Structures are given as C-alpha cells and as structure tokens.
Amino acid sequence: MAGGGEAEEETRVGDLPEACLADVIALTSPRDACRLAAVSPSFRAAAESDAVWDRFLPADVYRANLPGLAPAPASAGKKKKVFYLGLCDKPVPVDDGSMMVWLEKESGAKCFALPARKLSLPWEDGEFSWRWTPDHPLSRFAEVAQLVDCTCLDIYGRVPAAALTPATGYAAYLVYGSAAEGHRGLSFPDQETTVEVGGRVVARHAVCLRPDDAEARKFRGVGLGAAPRRPARRDDGWWEMEIGRVAAGEAALAAAAGEDVVASFEVLGWYPKRGLVVECMEFRPV
C-alpha cells in the first residue's frame, strides 16, 4: 500500500460467505457442483449444501415425498444431495406404480419409464393377443406383456410434455425382449417408429427389432427406403430401440399448450407375429 501502510488483505472467491457461494453454484449443474466441491473446503461446504441441491431437485418429484427415498442419516445440510443421488441410482414408482421416474445424474433431468400396462397395445383378438407375465426376472415392474399372436402390431406410449424437464431434448425408447420359445414376424424390415407432439409428427424412422439380413433381402424396396435402425443391447439384459427425439423447443411449445408427446412402434405388414416381450417405453434426456 502506498505511504508505507499495511497491505490490504486480498479477498478471494473462497472467502465469500457460504450462502453466496451456494447461490452461484446452484446456477450451474449437478456435475459442475461436484467438480467445484474439490476446489477448497469452503467450496465443498457450499457445493454440498441443501441450498444447492434443492435447486437441482425437480419440485414435483421432491414434493411427492417418494417412499423408500427419505434421505439416509447424513451430515447436517447435506440431506438434499443424498435424496438427489438416491433418485439417480434407483428408479422409483409414482402414480400408484403406473410409472417409474429417476434423474439423470449429470444434469438432473427427469427420466420416465412407462410399463407395458401403461402402453396402448393391439387387442384385435381380445385377451389372447397378449399374455401378462408376472415377476419377470429382468423387469423393474410387476409384469410384462408377451405377444401371443397377432397380425396387426402397433404400440403407443405418451407422457404430458409439461412433465418433461424444461429446456431439455428427449428421446423415446421401446424396451423389449423375446419369449423363451422364440419369436416370429419381428425380423422383417417393414417396421417404423414415430414421435408426435400435439398430433404433429416430429420424427419418423425405419427400424427392425430383430434384424435378419436374409429376411431383409426378401423385403428389398419395402418400407421407408432407408436402412432400418438396429436395436442396442442394454446392461440390464433387455434390448432397446430408439423411437425418435423431441427437441427442447418443440417440447416447450407442447408443454405450454398442454399437449402430449406420443411415441409409437408399428409393423406395416399384416402377417403373423409372436414372441415379443414388452417391458416398457422410456423417455430420457439427450
């Protein structure tokens, strides 16, 4: 300091009150908050505080007071983080078990899984089209749907656009498997998926649940003209097919209008089909 006085002590960001640091960190993301916690003890205290993690918890999910997710005993001021991580690691049932919800760990965006019971399935032959199988060893739900026999196959699932996390794009997925005795009619490349928002088609794709090159040669020229999308094997043992995506802007407009996001899978050909096992349809942020 000029004049020989004592130098003023420099104020650093880490010297700010914890509440101020928490307000700033809460404007970032869960991923950034975890990184900032490694900067210094003062940053850690702020980054792990309830003031920060309360901002990352979707208000509707937190208010639901989901059973089994009450925060475990934790240090004072860190219960919201424990609750948040619990929602990331363990999907929980909501709406009387009609749907599963969890959070994407890095962003905090909501993910949804609609069980087979919540989907619209074809019942052209009454109860004999599908068989409800309880306690499937791979399923998160009480039962899955197994296709016994049908000629017309289309599957629909819907979520209110307002339920999706704002400013976030989403993709819909069909989660499925095959019956132990095998399948029929699922290898032909005359299948398509569609995503609609408020009745407007925003995505359409040619797909094939059980790709078979020999069957594909028989159907050359059939379908949408593009090579069909192929499924991906999941770590939990199921297969998943991406149905399509909804951009953040489209979802926001639909939410404001009170509209639904509808995802569907359809086989265009009318021939016997059997052996498909449907666990759920998921809507996840992208």
pLDDT in tens, 190-234: 899 999 998 999 999 999 999 877 666 665 555 445 689 999 999
Domain residue extents for the chain: 9-90, 111-285
Q: How many helices (H) and strands (E) does the chain have?
A: 8, 13
- 25 alpha-carbon distance from chain centroid: 26
Q: What confidence score (pLDDT) does residue 122 get?
A: 79
CATH class of 111-285: mainly beta
Measured CA to CA in angstroms, residue 75 lies from 81, 108, 257 at distances of 11, 22, 43
The candidate with the shortest Cα–Cα distance to 113, out of 242, 235, 283, 286, is: 283
CATH class of 9-90: mainly alpha
Quote the CA–CA distance of 282 and 229 in Å, as a whole number.
17
Tokens of residue 187, six digits? 């290898």
Structure tokens at 65: 């007071």
Rg (CA), the chain: 24
Write down the pLDDT at residue 9: 61
Rounded to an integer, what is the distance from CA 279 to the centroid of its chain? Answer: 14
Low-confidence ranges of the chain (pLDDT < 50): 1, 65-68, 70-76, 223-224
pLDDT value of position 92: 84
- The amino acid at residue 224 is L
